[in-house]
Amino acid sequence: MRHIIVPDFGTAAAWRKAARACLNEGLSPADISWGSEQTERGLFDDQPAAAAAPVKMTVPRSFVELAETVCWHRDPDRFARLYAFLWRLKDAPHLIADRGDTELAHLRGMEKSVRRCQHKMKAFVRFREIGNRDDPRRSFAAWFEPTHHTLEPTADFFARRFGDMDWRIVTPEKTAIFMNGKLSFAPGQAKPELPDDASEALWLTYFRSIFNPARLKVQAMTSEMPKKYWKNLPEAATIPDLIANAPARARAMADAAPTLPPVRAEKARQQLAAHMSAWEGPKEALPAAIHACTRCPLHQNATQAVPGVGPLDAALMIVGEQPGDQEDLAGLPFVGPAGQLFDRVAEAAGLRRQEAFVTNAVKHFKFSPRGKRRLHQRPNSGEIEHCRWWLDAERALVKPKLILALGATAAEALTGTGADILRRRGTVEQLADGTPVLLAVHPSFLLRLPDPAERERQMALFEADLRRAVEMVAALAARTGRQDMAAG
């Protein structure tokens, strides 16, 4: 077995050179024992490897970039993992783009960890001046403890950023030295005694001033600024006090916030009430009013608004998300692929669409252009809220006995939340006026399912929901008929 030692300095370049030589000799991963300068030799290291045909291959650029980063990971098996994957690439180059490959996923995770460590180094290195201010080039030093072996690949960043001064970054394993414009490396050392920074007090004052107690999220903060780095950050000493006093400071900020004068407050209340008032125009004018809607920016890019269609005395109202590309062009709801799927399932469930009032929670098509295509974008909560005014007007016009809400957007428009739609599907929720809402998934959800078995299962559940809607409408109509007869 060939034992290969990859040096601690110039690690990435050395591994590439060694890996290329092993490929040229036809050595498989089983024929090589990889290690660093600290790795002990194995029992069978340096035994002759079996002869094999040389391997000639063109390495994908993306793998080269991956290896250049992973080589600096702390995992002692990093070199062996890289070579094993490289060996597989010779027969299957497409593996470098296979997101389902577990070994590639592991290497990508290592790559991400190294890049994160480099980012933290750039953010948390703190230089202290160690030279004479009167020297032609000022001199600085910093101490840092990286998670991975990232000093060497990150040093070029500091050389570019601080090229007008001399500096050194000391870590337990390596030391980067930048003197007179030249970068070099030396072995690591223990943490040196660094002088105090004259501007540190000013920096701490600034750090405290930009801390916003009302937006404090401790978990997010410690994720971006892990506690392992705190001991070397001067500002970290202020964090416990800032966290402890955050609730009191947030309350004080709220108490000191300005309020609207009474006249302006009343005017704002009246404007809001007018904005949210119910439709009071004639029934036949509602579609035209929807077509003229400019309540939110969605009208700027859509071809037209798409109002609901169907009998105005329909017992069932069906509410979808928003018009799609074909609905936007035709001016009618549910005529695209999702609508066609709905029609097929509705026919099997005994639901007669022509007897229902069909509409959408949002009346304009929201999309992002991709060349000649317009790709659907889900409406946000603000757009749903603006368009709820028209949905309420249609509800007041039709007065349905049951509303069938298709998808999370329809659920949010009607019930206030679109969360957990898969868990809530098939259930009935009551609106404030007592109207029952039966929740179901949107047909577009079924079209996006890649697994045929799961699609078939979800289709069966969707058909059951539509069948239940038919049964509920019949039961509600029968009960209303009995009440009318009793009243007569």
Residue 454's Cβ-side half-sphere holds a number of Cα atoms within 13 Å equal to 7
Of the three residues 103, 120, 137, the one that is the final residue of a domain is 120
Both 32 and 100 in a single domain? yes
Please give the radius of gyration of the chain, using alpha carbons only, rounded to the nearest integer: 33
Both 362 and 472 in a single domain? yes
Both 182 and 210 in a single domain? no
**What pTM was estimated for this model as a whole?**
0.50
- Is there a domain that residue 266 lies in? no
Of 19 and 198, more confident: 19
Q: How far is CA 326 from its chain centroid?
A: 29
Contacts of 75 (CB under 8 A, 6+ apart): 81, 110
> In the numeric block, which tokens belong to residue 327?
């609905």
* CATH number reported for the structural domain that contains residue 417 in this entry: 3.40.470.10
The pLDDT value recorded for residue 44 is 43
- Is there a domain that residue 195 lies in? no
| Structural contact between residues 108 and 70, judged by C-beta atoms closer than 8 angstroms | no
Q: Compute the distance between CA of residue 265 and CA of residue 267 in angstroms, rounded to an integer.
A: 5
The pLDDT value recorded for residue 52 is 47
| Structural contact between residues 439 and 405, judged by C-beta atoms closer than 8 angstroms | yes
Both 99 and 205 in a single domain? no
Both 30 and 54 in a single domain? yes
Of the three residues 141, 158, 187, the one that is the final residue of a domain is 187
For 317-360, what is each residue's pLDDT tens digit? 999 999 999 999 999 999 999 999 999 999 999 999 999 999 99
> In the numeric block, which tokens belong to residue 251?
């309350």
Both 59 and 93 in a single domain? yes
Contacts of 3 (CB under 8 A, 6+ apart): 32, 33, 35, 41, 42, 45, 46
For 285-305, what is each residue's pLDDT tens digit? 889 889 888 888 898 899 999
Is residue 42 predicted with pLDDT exceeding 60? no
Q: Compute the distance between CA of residue 95 and CA of residue 82 in angstroms, rounded to an integer.
A: 13
**What is the domain extent for residue 168?**
125-187
Question: What is the share, in percent, of the chain residues with pLDDT greater than 70?
Answer: 89
Q: How many domains does the chain have?
A: 4
- Is there a domain that residue 264 lies in? no
Both 343 and 391 in a single domain? yes
